[in-house]
Amino acid sequence: MDSSFQAFTVVENQDGSFASQIISKNIDDLPPGDILVRVAFSSLNYKDALSATGHKGVTKAYPHTPGIDAVGTVEDSSHSDFNVGDQVIVSGYDMGMNTAGGFGEYIRVPREWVSLLPEGLTIKESIILGTAGLTAGLSVSALDKKNGIEGRLAIVTGATGGVGCLGVQLLSKLGAHVTAVTGKTDSEDFLKSIGAVEVISREELAQNCRQPLSSGKWDIGIDVVGGETLAGLMTCLNLGGSVACCGNVGGPKIETTIFPYILRGNSLLGIDSGNIPISEKKKIWELFANEWKLDLKGLSKEVTLNELDHEIHSILEGAQKGRVIISLGGR
C-alpha cells in the first residue's frame, strides 16, 4: 500500500491569516487510532467552513485538515468489530476539529467513532446525509417523542441548507405539513419539490413572530439558525409545541420571555449530533436505511478537493443549497 496521500490542509500564516493548500502527506502523519479508513467521500458542513477559515473556537492548532464527515473502506483495523474491506461511516466527535478529518484521502480514528454502513444505504447516500442528516434525524426523533409527527404543522428554518432540506424532506415523509423558511427568493420550487407545503421568507417569519406571545401557527419546528429567528419562532408555537434547536448561523444568543414556556407549555429541545454515543448514531443510520429512506437525488453537488475553497466561501455567505459532497476516490 502506498503510504502517501493527498489532503486539503489549512495553514496559519505569520501575519495571523489563514490559507489552504492540497499537500502530500504520509499515513504515519495521521494521529494514533484503531481504524484506518480510505476515504471515498466527505461532505462540507458549516463547522468545516469555520475550521477552514481559522476559527479557533472549532480548531485550536494549525496546520489542520478539516472534515467532520467521512465514508469509506477500512484498510487496517486493530479491533475485531471491523475488518479490512468493511464500508464505514465516521461523523463528528473530534474528527475534523482537532483530529485530522475527512478532507484527506485517509483518516485514522478510534473505533468508538466508527459505524458500519447499514444495508439499504449506499456509500454516496450516507455522505449526502452525513452530519446534516444525522442532525435532522435526531431533531425529528426528539420532536416525535415529544409531540408526534404525523398531521402536525411543522416549520423548518434555514430550509435550503443541509440540515434544513433534509429536515423538510423527512418531516414531510412522516406526514407533517411543512412550512419552509428561507432567505433565497429563488428556492420555492426546490423546497416544494422535497415536501414543503408552504415557503415563507425570513422577513415574513419575523413579521408574524415578533410579540412576546404571537398567534400560534405551528406545532413543531426544526431551527438551524438560532439568534432572533429562534427567539421569534418560540413565540409562534401552538399549545404544547416544541422546537428542536440544532444550529447557530444567526448567532448564539436568544432574547426571549418566559411566556411561551409557562402560558403554552412550549419546549426548546437541544440537539447535539457530534458527541452522542455511537449507539445513538447507529439507530439514526438504520432508520435512514429503512423506514426513513429518502430520495436524495438532486440534493447534492459533488466536487473535488481542488474545488473546495469556492464551496467554503459559499456556505459562509449562506449561498449553499442542499449538500456539497467531496469525492476522494477511495471506493
Q: In CATH, what number is assigned to the domain containing residue 85?
A: 3.90.180.10
Distance between CA atoms of residues 188 and 237, nearest Å = 23
Q: What gap in Å lies between CA 284 and CA 236, rounded to an integer?
A: 29
Looking at residue 248, what is its pLDDT? 86
Q: Is 186 in the same domain as 155?
A: yes
Partnered with residue 9 across adjacent β-strands are: 21
**Domain assignment of residue 288, yes or no:** no
Burial class of 1 by CB neighbour count within 10 A (0 to 12, 13 to 18, 19+):
exposed
- Identify the pLDDT of residue 319: 84
Same domain flag for 147 and 230: yes
Whether residues 87 and 154 share a domain: the answer is no
- Rounded to the nearest 5 percent, the helix, strand and coil shares of the chain are 30, 30, 40
Domain shared by 153 and 207, yes or no: yes
* Residue-wise pLDDT tens digits, 140-176: 999 999 999 999 999 999 999 999 999 999 999 999 9
In this structure, are strands 323-327 and 153-156 parallel, antiparallel, or unpaired?
unpaired
Q: 75 and 135, same structural domain?
A: no
Of all helices (H) and strands (E), which one includes residue 153? Answer: strand 153-156
Residues 170 and 112 placed together within one structural domain of the fold: no
Determine contact, residues 180/159, Cβ cutoff 8 Å: yes
- Is residue 100 in a domain? yes
Give pLDDT, residue 318.
84
Is residue 125 situated within a structural domain? Answer: no
DSSP string covering 15-32, please?
TS-EEEEEEEEEGGGSPP
For residue 331, the model assigns a pLDDT of 57
Cα–Cα distance, 192 to 170 (Å, whole number): 13
Please indicate, yes or no, if residue 54 is contained in any of the structural domains.
yes
Whether residue 49 is found in the same domain as residue 178: no
Whether residue 175 is found in the same domain as residue 62: no
d(CA 29, CA 107): 10
Domain membership of residue 29 (yes or no) is yes
* pLDDT string in tens for the chain (331-residue length): 578 999 999 999 999 999 999 999 999 999 999 999 999 999 999 999 999 999 999 999 999 999 999 999 999 999 999 999 999 999 999 999 999 999 999 999 999 999 999 999 999 999 999 999 999 999 999 999 999 999 999 999 999 999 999 999 999 999 999 999 998 888 999 999 999 999 999 999 999 888 889 999 999 999 999 999 999 999 999 999 999 999 988 888 988 899 999 999 999 999 999 999 999 999 999 999 999 999 999 899 999 999 999 999 999 988 888 999 999 986 5
Q: In terms of C-beta density within 10 A (0-12 exposed, 13-18 middle, 19 or more buried), how is residue 253 classed?
A: exposed
Q: Is residue 153 part of a domain?
A: yes
Domain boundary among 222, 255, 270: 270
* 104 in the same domain as 19: yes
DSSP conformation class of 229: H
Q: What CATH number is attached to the domain comprising 209?
A: 3.40.50.720
- Looking at every residue in the chain, the average pLDDT score rounds to 95
Domain membership flag for residue 299: yes
Beta strand spans in 162-297 (E): 177-182, 196-201, 218-223, 237-245, 267-270
Check whether residue 214 and residue 323 sit in a common domain.
Answer: no
Provide the number of structural domains found in the chain.
2
Both 265 and 135 in a single domain? yes
186 and 167 in one domain?
yes
Residue 282 CA from chain centroid, whole number: 16
For residue 284, being part of any structural domain is answered with no
**Parent domain of 11:** 4-120+293-327
Q: What's the pLDDT tens digit per position in 264-304?
A: 999 999 999 999 999 999 999 999 999 999 999 989 999 99
Distance from C-alpha of 192 to C-alpha of 212, rounded to nearest angstrom: 31
